[in-house]
Amino acid sequence: MLPNGAILHRRDYPSPNPNIHLEEITYWSDRLKVKGLLAEPVSGGNYEGIIYLRGGIQHVGMVRPARIAQFASQGFVVFAPYYRGNRGGEGRDEFAGDDRQDAVNAVEVLKQSSMLNKDRIHLYAFSRGGIMALWTAILREDISSVVTWAGVSDVIFTYNEREDMRRMMKRVIGGTPNSMPDAYRERTALFKVDEIDAPILIIHGMKDENVSFEQAILLEDALRDKDKQYETWYFPEYTHYFPTAHNAQIVRDLCDWMRRQGNE
């Protein structure tokens, strides 16, 4: 039996940046073939790594090559799992159910890069990816830092605040928080943040209507209660999406923040 994270297939992927090499990777995760996108600087070297945990579900919020290349161009090796059941991968996207293992096992994929400093692996998450990042930091002990931007922290809260997502969540999870409370509670990482050792940066627009600002506060409160190391960057004027120029600046700033963790 192949180990989790074993690379089964790799193919070159068109890169929007001539300085970044992209490959689509098929890897082994809980006996399923799962796919993701790997980005490495063309110049070679020894780089810190980022697991980029996408938002959305299925085709919504899919990994964008330009975004992955943007992070890699800051001087990182980046791997972004699509999660199971997406882009030809086996299994079914479960919205932070068993598919959280695809994020956990993605770290093993990243570690196979010859350019990676294996002692410096960070998690970056957007939207739904937030809950995936929290679980990855809970389930692994080799994470240097976590950045969650507009991140989901409570799946039950998400069900209650996003009426337009309830049908999907009932289908994927198997019911409602009332009919299947354990299934929703098991997905909610807030109850286990005491098991996270990595410092966490929470970024959130206070006018966000996709993942409400309250989700950032829930995470902040949980981390404070457990005396965990965290930092917050809150933006009163922004929604779920930030203006392009400021978005790019925040990417540079958060990459600098990642590098500082454990090195100050």
Q: Which of 125, 124, 130 is nearest to 155 (CA)?
A: 130
**Strand pairing class (200-205; 145-149):** parallel
Q: Is 113 a catalytic residue?
A: no
**Residue 51 pairs with which residues in a beta bridge?**
79, 123
Burial degree of 89 (CB within 10 A; 0-12, 13-18, 19+): buried
Catalytic residue among 15, 29, 127, 144: 127
DSSP secondary-structure letter at 98?
Answer: T
Task: Name, in order, each residue with C-beta under 8 angstroms of 30's C-beta and a sequence gap of 6 or more.
Answer: 4, 91, 98, 101, 102, 105
Q: Which of 54, 74, 72 is nearest to 62 (CA)?
A: 54
Tokens of 76: 């990182």
Phi, psi of 36 (to 5 degrees): -165, 175
* Rounded distance between C-alpha atoms, residue 28 and residue 175, angstroms: 29
Q: Is 127 a catalytic residue?
A: yes
Please, how many CA atoms are within 13 Å of residue 149, restricted to the half-sphere of its CB?
20
Catalytic residues: 127, 240
